[in-house]
Structure 1
Amino acid sequence: MKVRDVMTQQVDWVAPTASIAEIARLMKNKDVGSIPICEDKKVIGMITDRDIVLKVIADGLNWESKTAKDIMNSQVITVTADQDVHEAAHLMSEYQIRRLPVVEQGKLVGIVALGDLAIEKIHINEAGDALSDISQGARH
């Protein structure tokens, strides 16, 4: 089975100049824990709710003056829509991440989350193993 079969196709993203407040509101309104940061639909970073807490709030920084570019993770692991879901599960486990942006020709076309693999009952053992590795902080 391919990533395209389980990915979410409608993905909200923001520009690197987006404010932290704007990103937090988008996360709340869409009930998501991460937002891709894009320039012309090209993924240049990711921000998670955890990034906001640890990189801004816990450090006592002024969240009103921070932008996506200030706290985004620019080391983004992506997959293509044609990759096998086994590969996506392996990448999630290896890099300890729960969501992978899906790109085609360098442009964002979707996102696949660990939950997508489990909810669809696809490779439950792999998804479970990936979640276990992510939760325990194991590195391969």
Structure 2
Amino acid sequence: MTQHGMAQKVNEVMTPVPVTVSPDTPLARVGELMREHGIGDVLVVHEGRLRGLVTDRDIVVRGVALRRDMASTAVADVCSTNVITVPVGEDADTAVRLMSEHAVRRLPVVDGDRPIGMVSIGDLAVQRDERSTLADISAEPPNT
């Protein structure tokens, strides 16, 4: 299912240079970065390699709810280490499929194990025609 004869690649729709932190970054700092950049997830990177992903929900569920100290708790203690990623050369269709399979709204784009961007369901929806599955999902009224 190519459009205009060429399937769109992930690197054409991703946001380059995602916000990253090292595993020992305190949760308080991660929260500040989320606020500054208006994002809900941050990549955890050690020596250039992707080690995990932390979401605002991770911080609440595994940090705040357990009454951890935000200044002394490292992001490594609450982040997910089982991260679904998409290789930079992949078609956007693959990213869409991964998102629906794993019920995630964003995927780190990797070159080997080095994160070079993030692609979101919004990035992909904008790039596709209105008849696509993604547009149908986005257009559906929310479940009550």
Per the normalisation by structure 1, the TM-score is 0.86
- Code of the residue aligned with 1:15 in structure 2: it is S
Deviations 1:94-116 (A, max 9, x none): 11111111111321111101111
Partner of 1:63: 70
Please tell me whether Structure 1 or Structure 2 has the larger radius of gyration of its CA atoms: 2
Partner of 1:97: 104
Q: 1:11 pairs with 13, 18, 21, which one?
A: 18
Structure 1 residue 22: deviation in Å?
A: 0.6
Deviations 1:12-61 (A, max 9, x none): 20000001011000011011110000012211100001111111112222
Structure 1 residue 83: deviation in Å?
A: 0.6
Size of the alignment, in residue pairs? 134
CA RMSD of aligned residues (A): 2.1
Partner of 1:112: 119
| Distance in 2, Cα, partners of 1:129 & 1:77 | 24
Please state if 1:52 is matched with 2:40: no
Structure 1 80/122 Cα, relative in aligned 2: closer, same or farther at 3 Å? Answer: farther
Stretch deviating more after TM superposition (113-122 or 88-97): 113-122
Check conservation: 1:37, 1:46, Cα contact below 8 A: yes
Percent pairwise identity: 33
Per the normalisation by structure 2, the TM-score is 0.83
Partner of 1:79: 86
Runs of 4+ in 1 over 4 A off after TM superposition: 128-132
Stretch deviating more after TM superposition (30-39 or 62-71): 62-71
Residue segments in structure 2 that go unaligned for 5+ positions in a row: 1-7
- Code of the residue aligned with 2:62 in structure 1: it is K
Structure 1 85/123 Cα, relative in aligned 2: closer, same or farther at 3 Å? Answer: farther
SS of residue matched to 1:38: strand
Partner of 2:128: 121
| Distance in 2, Cα, partners of 1:14 & 1:4 | 22
